[in-house]
A and B are shown apart, each in its own frame.
Chain A
Amino acid sequence: MSDPIIELRNVSFRYPGADDDTLRNVNLTISEGDVVSVVGGNGSAKTTLCKTFNGLIPHYWQGEFAGVAEVCGIDTFTSSVAELSSHVGYVYQDFQNQLVRPTVRDEIAFGPVNFGLADHRERTAEALEMLRITELADKFVWQLSGGQAHLAALASVLALRPRIIVVDEPVAELDPARAMEIYERLEVLNREFGLTVVTIEHHAEFIARYAQSVVLMSGGAPVWHLPVQEAVNRSAELAEHGIPAPQIVQAAQALGLADAPRTVPDAARALAHLPVDPTPEPETGTEGASTSEVVASVRGVTFSYNTVLGRRQVVLDGLNVDIRRGDRVALVGGNGSGKTTLLKLLAGITVPRRGEVIVDGINTRQRSASELADHVAYLWQHPQQMFVKESIERDIALFPEERGVEGWEGLVTDTLDQVRLSGFADRDGRTLSGGQQRRATLGIGLAMRPTLLLADEPTASLDVTSREAVTVMLSELATDGTMSSVVATHDMSLVAEWATRVLVLEGGTVIGDLTPGALFARPDLLERANLVPPQITQLGHALGITPPPLNVADFVSRIRKESHHGA
């Protein structure tokens, strides 16, 4: 147990103008070199706690502060944000808003230059090297992908050579492959450079795999601060506080294991003694044998665009796909594979360079996008961009009212009921939580009564409970079979639980058109498209269960059935 680097003694804090204390008598010690995950439900004051480390509380947020907070031996109350920022680096959840300079190099040098440090060039090079992003140095900030921007934000705080790094929700906006990269880099920073890492996290699988200790927050104070194995074992308590256990832990506990496994290889080792049925089960899903009518058709489509520096970037190259009535299609593929472009082509927002897109018998070249909106609803990736009116009720009513749909008031009320937001009807969409915003956008799409509903990453940036709510809602919407949905996503649990058909995009064409079960049995496709299957599927692979299970219940029943046979 090394020396404490952060010590909070009886710290309480109330935001200016608030009725109650946000932090209540917090006592917490974090040792140097630790990798701590701070977890807790909404409103448990995780972010407030982390802001006491770098002095934003109480110097920037000038509320009522009591108690003593010592960071690197400095009392934060008598110090300043400027001084503490050279000891504690803070990366925000919405890291894009933290990037203020036009180029990456200038962004990283911004901190050292502001503090008048003569060696700012060396510090910049050092920070770029530590995160292995030296090739991004001269790129413009708006050219960066999500993952690159996150690393740039991290590099910009590293330039001040802090001993502690706080990262708020490292995984929120990224796809699973990128998310692991961020955590790997944080691990390197901890192991090789001795930095203390504090993350605010609610994805249990990352906590289990990368953290060394866990702080559970509730109601403004830590409930406990335990080493990670003990914390992960307390999965029921974590679930109560809004952190459902990772799939492998759920499976292990259902099968009676004492110690919760932290990674898939651990789980595979622990369960290896259970007999596995060697004969593969027959494939129960049908692969593309549907006989319903075709509602949308993409024929030989090519799409490319010009970049700022004059190069032409090809996105789609000779793509063919048919969408049938009642289909629940998940569109997957790496960054830049053309998922959003394909959705926009189906919605008629853009037209292809070559080829045709036919929706409901109408060629998108023959109609304007506003006319095609009678048949297709497109839901943007960021819900805030869809809220154009002062309340979600007005937003939902915009389409049916302006187009003179009969009985539109009743339609709006019914839609609000369907997405379970009747109580929020008069609120501006921006004041809602992430999950509620997504449901509101689903409501906007439903009120358009489309033949085809297109959604771009509907579960991105949501915590697990909200994600599950949106997945369930998407399933409910498609039950009567008249509406087809196409969802672009990198959330493999959405694919596993909701989709009936998966289109894998890579290199501008469809490289796979299969059921989710068939997709997860094809490691070559998963590799090419840079996809990470759900944990339980990975575990099924490792234990040799074919076809691999798509959810925990499936997995548990297979093992139980086999051990029952063997018993």
Chain B
Amino acid sequence: MARKQRDVLSVEWIKLELIRAAYATRGGLFSRMDPRVVLLWYVILAFAPWFTHNLTVLAVFFVMAAVSVILARVGPLLLGLFIFGLIMEAGYIVVAAWFFGGDSATVVALAALSLKLGAVSMVSMAAFVSLDPEKLSDALLALKAPELLAFAVSYGYRMLPILVEEFNTVFDNYRLRSAPPATKGLLGWRVVVHWVKMSVLSFYPIFLNTALSVRTTVEALETRGFTYATINRRSREIRLGYLRVSLLDVAVMAVTVGLVIAAFWAGHQWPIHRADLA
């Protein structure tokens, strides 16, 4: 065995990709839009697939979602996890159908569900990868979400890199100080169990350390007028003052709504239902 420093598929790479996803560092179409419109776009495309069982319509939605993922420049980690999940799901659907004595009708029904979930997942990825923490919390505030929620979202993003690093450190502590399993077991299952156990145990020290450090945070928030802002409307106006709906936003919404309508029309013209394929 020879250890090498790897740039891809290493712990460092995973940490970097998480941060890149959270902080929208890759840009993309949706990062240039008004965040409120992005959320509205997301809500439309996340709900639309649930109103139909028509496979034509669902296929169009799936393709739309795939295009939006490309336009939003979703990173390789998330895309990789998604595709891996999709393949595994397809795999176990087939196994389940065969094992429980189902036939092709079952497969088709489960495939319809997969198309719906796939479309909704991809649209979620496209939307949230494009919103950086400021924009997301401002959009929530604009849509009348409570101040505390908006702050919690942006604070969560701010703490994310720190917590990821801390998790890595505590996990390394466990790795170095506890004993690796004596034998690897069949296909290394003992090692996997050991690692899962260490991952879970690593959360407790992080909770405790975070509890200690937020005491200062809460006090400091008081001195920066945080509770004052909840009773003073002016701060909300100032914070949301920069949000502006532009031509790009209108264009994207128009195209999206048009495509949704077209999808339903196509489904009406050439319907494919479960019963047809069985």
**What residues of chain A have their CB less than 8 Å away from a CB belonging to chain B?**
54, 56, 60, 81-82, 85, 89-90, 92, 94, 96-103, 106, 110-111, 113-118, 120, 140-142, 156-157, 303, 305-309, 347, 349-353, 364-366, 368-371, 373, 378, 380, 384-388, 398-399, 402-404, 428, 430, 444, 448
A386 to B169 alpha-carbon distance, docked (Å)? 8
What are some 20 contacts across the A-B interface (CB < 8 A)? A60-B219, A92-B216, A97-B220, A100-B151, A100-B158, A102-B23, A111-B225, A113-B229, A116-B235, A117-B238, A142-B162, A156-B224, A157-B223, A349-B172, A352-B5, A370-B178, A384-B212, A385-B169, A388-B173, A428-B208
Contacts of B157 in A (CB 8 A): 102
- When distances are taken between beta carbons in the complex, the residues of chain A under 8 Å from B205 are 384-385, 387-388
Q: Indicate if the CB atoms of B179 and A303 lie closer than 8 Å.
A: no
Query: Which residues of chain A are within 8 angstroms of B16 by Cβ–Cβ distance?
Result: 306-308
B3 partner residues in chain A, CB cutoff 8 A: 351, 364-366, 368
Do A116 and B238 touch (CB < 8 A)? Answer: yes
> Interface 1/0s, chain B 226-250, versus A by CB < 8 A?
1111001111011100000000000
Instruction: Decide if B214 touches A85 in the complex (CB within 8 Å).
Output: no
In the complex, what distance in Å separates the CA atom of A99 from the CA atom of B224? 11
Kindly list chain B residues whose C-beta atoms are within 8 Å of the C-beta of A308. 16, 19-20, 23, 25
Q: B166, B170, B204, B219: which has the most chain A beta carbons within 10 Å?
A: B219
The majority secondary structure among interface residues of chain A is mixed
Contact of A56 among B212, B222, B228 (CB under 8 A): B222
* A329 to B: closest C-beta gap in Å: 21
**Distance in angstroms between the alpha carbons of A408 and B106 in the assembled complex:** 60
In the bound complex, how far is the Cα of B162 from the Cα of A339, in angstroms? 20
B178 to chain A, nearest CB (A): 5
Q: Quick check: A102 and B154 within 8 Å, CB to CB?
A: yes
A385 close to B170 (CB less than 8 A): yes
Task: From the candidates B12, B134, B212, B237, name the one contacting A305 in the complex (CB within 8 A).
Answer: B12
Choice from A110, A309, A368 contacting B180 with Cβ under 8 Å:
A368
Q: A60-B222, A115-B232 are in contact. List 6 more A-B contacts (CB 8 A).
A: A56-B219, A113-B239, A349-B172, A369-B176, A385-B170, A430-B208
- Please state if B212 and A430 are interface contacts (CB–CB under 8 Å): yes
Whether B259 sits at the interface, judged by CB under 8 Å, is no
Per the bound structure, the CA–CA distance linking A488 and B265 in Å amounts to 69
Does B133 sit at the interface, judged by CB under 8 A?
A: yes
**What residues on B are CB-neighbors of A403 within 8 Å?**
179
* Residues of B in contact with A (beta carbons under 8 Å apart): 1-5, 7, 12-13, 16, 19-20, 23, 25, 132-134, 151, 154-155, 157-158, 161-162, 166, 169-170, 172-180, 201-202, 204-205, 208-209, 212-214, 216-217, 219-229, 232-235, 237-239
B54 to chain A minimum Cβ distance, whole angstroms, is 43
Docked CA distance A144–B132 (Å)? 18
The CA-CA distance from A180 to B62 in the complex, in Å, is: 59
A residues less than 8 Å from B172 (CB atoms): 349, 369
**Contact indicator B176/A140 (Cβ below 8 Å):** no
Contact B4 A351 (CB under 8 A): yes
Contacts of A102 in B (CB 8 A): 23, 132-134, 154, 157-158
If the complex has contacts A114-B228, A115-B235, A380-B169, are A388 and B220 also in contact, measured as CB distance less than 8 A? no
Nearest CB in chain A: distance from B147 CB, A: 10
Across the interface, which residues of B come within 8 angstroms of A120, CB to CB?
Answer: 238
Given A94-B213, A114-B226, A303-B5, A103 and B134 touching (CB < 8 A)?
Answer: yes
Chain A residues lying within 8 Å of B161, measured Cβ to Cβ, are 142
Across-interface contacts of B237 in A (CB, < 8 A)? 116
Is A142's CB under 8 angstroms from B228's CB? no
Contact B224 A386 (CB under 8 A): no
A81 touches B5 (CB 8 A): no
Partner of B214, one of A54, A97, A350, A371: A97
* Chain B residues in 8 Å Cβ range of A60: 219, 222
**Is B173 touching A385 in the complex (CB atoms < 8 A)?**
yes
Q: Which residue of B lies closest to A82 (CB)?
A: B228
Q: Does B208 lie within 8 Å of A85, measured CB to CB?
A: no
**Most-contacted residue by chain A among B5, B132, B174, B220 (CB, 10 A):** B220
Q: How far is the CB of B225 from chain A (nearest CB, A)?
A: 4
List, in ascending order, chain B residues with CB within 8 A of A100's CB: 151, 154-155, 158, 217, 220-221, 224
Flag if B217 contacts A98 (CB, 8 Å): yes
Is the beta-carbon distance between A404 and B155 smaller than 8 angstroms? no
Residues of B within 8 A of A430 (CB): 208-209, 212
| Minimal Cβ-Cβ distance residue in A for B11 | A350
The interface residues of chain A lying within 8 Å CB-to-CB of B133 are: 102
Question: Which residues in B have their C-beta under 8 angstroms from that of A106?
Answer: 134
Inter-subunit contact B1/A366 (CB<8 Å): yes
Closest to A98 in B: B220
Which B residues lie within 8 Å of A387 (CB)? 205
Contacts of A97 in B (CB 8 A): 213-214, 216-217, 220
Interchain CB contact under 8 A, A366 and B223: no
A370–B224 touching, CB < 8 Å: no
Residue from A96, A114, A347, A387 having most chain B Cβ neighbours under 10 A: A114
CB distance from A391 to the nearest CB of B (A): 13
Q: B226 contacts which chain A residues (CB < 8 A)? A: 114
Residue of B nearest to A390 (CB): B204
A113 adjacent to B238 (CB under 8 Å):
yes
The closest CB in chain A to the CB of B176 belongs to A373
Question: When chains A and B are docked, how far (Å) is the Cα of A115 from the Cα of B217?
Answer: 18
Complex CA–CA separation, A378 to B169 (angstroms): 12
* Residue from A114, A307, A351 within 8 A of B225 (CB atoms): A114
Q: Does B220 contact A92, Cβ atoms closer than 8 Å?
A: yes
A241, chain B: closest CB distance, angstroms? 25
Taking CB atoms, residues of chain A closer than 8 Å to B170 are 385, 388
Q: A residues within 8 A CB of B224? A: 85, 100, 110-111, 114, 156
For residue A373, which residues in chain B have a CB less than 8 angstroms away from its CB? 176-177
Name the residue of chain A whose CB is nearest to the CB of B132.
Answer: A102
CB closest chain-B residue, reference A402: B179
Q: Bound complex: CA of A97 vs CA of B174, how far in Å? A: 26
Judge whether A370 and B213 touch: CB under 8 Å. no
Residue of B nearest to A370 (CB): B180
Closest 4 CB pairs of A and B: A116-B234, A114-B225, A114-B229, A402-B179
Bound state CA distance, A81 and B229, in angstroms?
Answer: 13
B-side contacts of A110, CB under 8 Å: 224
Least CB distance from A107 to B in Å reads: 9
What's the minimum C-beta distance from A168 to chain B, rounded to whole angstroms?
Answer: 10
* Contact across chains for B178 and A99 when beta carbons are under 8 A apart: no
The complex places the Cα of A351 from the Cα of B16 at a distance, in Å, of 18
Cross-chain contact B208 with A370 (CB below 8 angstroms): no
Q: Which residues of A contact B4 (CB under 8 A)?
A: 351, 365
In the complex, what residues of B have CB within 8 A of residue A384's CB?
205, 208-209, 212
Complex contact B209–A385 (CB within 8 A):
yes
In Å, the complex CA distance between A345 and B232 comes to: 53
List the B residue with the shortest CB-CB distance to A120.
B238
* Docked CA distance A308–B21 (Å): 10
Q: Does the CB pair B177–A81 fall under 8 Å?
A: no
**A305 CA / B237 CA spacing, docked (Å):** 42
Chain A residues with CB below 8 A from B220, complex form: 90, 92, 97-98, 100
Task: Tell me how far the C-beta of B143 lies from the nearest C-beta in chain A, rounded to whole angstroms.
Answer: 19
Question: Smallest distance from the beta carbon of B106 to chain A beta carbons, Å?
Answer: 45
With A101-B158, A113-B239, A115-B228 already in contact, the answer to whether A54 and B223 are too (CB < 8 A) is yes
Q: Please measure, in the bound complex, the distance between the C-alpha atom of A425 and the C-alpha atom of B256, giving whole angstroms.
A: 64
Q: In the complex, A402 Cα to B132 Cα: how many Å? A: 44
Q: Which residue of B lies closest to A84 (CB)?
A: B223
> Chain B residues near A402 (CB, 8 Å)?
177-179
The residue of chain A having its C-beta at the shortest distance from the C-beta of B172 within the complex is A349
